[in-house]
Amino acid sequence: MRSSESIPPSAGPEEDSGVRLCDRPGCNAEGLYRAPRSREALNSYYWFCLEHVREYNLAWDYFKDMGEESIEQIRRRDAVWQRPSWPFAGARKTPGGAPNGQFRDDFGFFAEETAETAASKGRFPPKSKQAKALAALNLSPNATLDEVKARYKSLAKELHPDRNGGDSEAEERLKIINLAYSDLKAAF
């Protein structure tokens, strides 16, 4: 038995108890396991007992009588879940920013960023720990590491306890500056 066509459905009616019999001719066991009838009718089933469904599955060959080209087409469609796709690599940019004008770019993912837009956005998200650290150092959102280091050194000298005679407010401010500097140093 090599193909699904060699197993005709059983000619006998189901028992009065509503139990489905195995579709293998001559088998009176209960048909609990389904198997597709053919590649063209995957939602139409034979019902087999465990022994005969195992036998059927060993003989089942979805790609039987198909050429290599047909098999390759099926593999390629399955690789993208049978959905249309297109390559992004080497895509041309259009004035709207979308590659080849194939779709709308409402969020500007494909728009080229200019120096002005990068500077206005800042390096870190607005409410992030690093953005708060930049604010604690009184620096702009797009400050560089060199600017951070220079500002830290000047504030550390200004707020040092030896210079402020043990002022507790200056000490607390220095602690905040030290934490901010360590956060920014790790982020850069």
Q: What pLDDT score was predicted for residue 98?
A: 47
Give, for all 188 residues of the chain, the pLDDT tens digit.
Answer: 444 445 555 444 444 567 899 999 999 999 999 999 988 888 899 999 999 999 999 999 888 889 999 999 988 888 888 887 776 655 555 554 445 556 666 676 766 655 455 545 567 888 888 888 888 988 888 888 899 999 999 998 988 888 888 788 888 998 999 999 998 888 87
Quote the pTM value: 0.38
Alpha-carbon distance 140 to 143, whole Å?
Answer: 5
SS3 81: coil
Alpha-carbon distance 167 to 70, whole Å?
Answer: 82
Q: Are 56 and 9 in contact (CB under 8 A)?
A: no
| Residues whose CB is less than 8 angstroms from the CB of residue 28 and which lie 6 or more positions away in sequence, other chains included | 21, 22
Distances in Å between the alpha carbon of 2 and those of 6, 64, 136, 140, 143?
7, 10, 77, 75, 73
Pull the structure tokens for residue 68. Answer: 């290599």
Q: What pLDDT score was predicted for residue 117?
A: 53
Domain ranges of the chain: 4-59, 123-187
Domain 123-187 has CATH 1.10.287.110: yes
Alpha-carbon distance 29 to 8, whole Å?
Answer: 16
SS3 150: helix
Q: What pLDDT score was predicted for residue 72?
A: 92
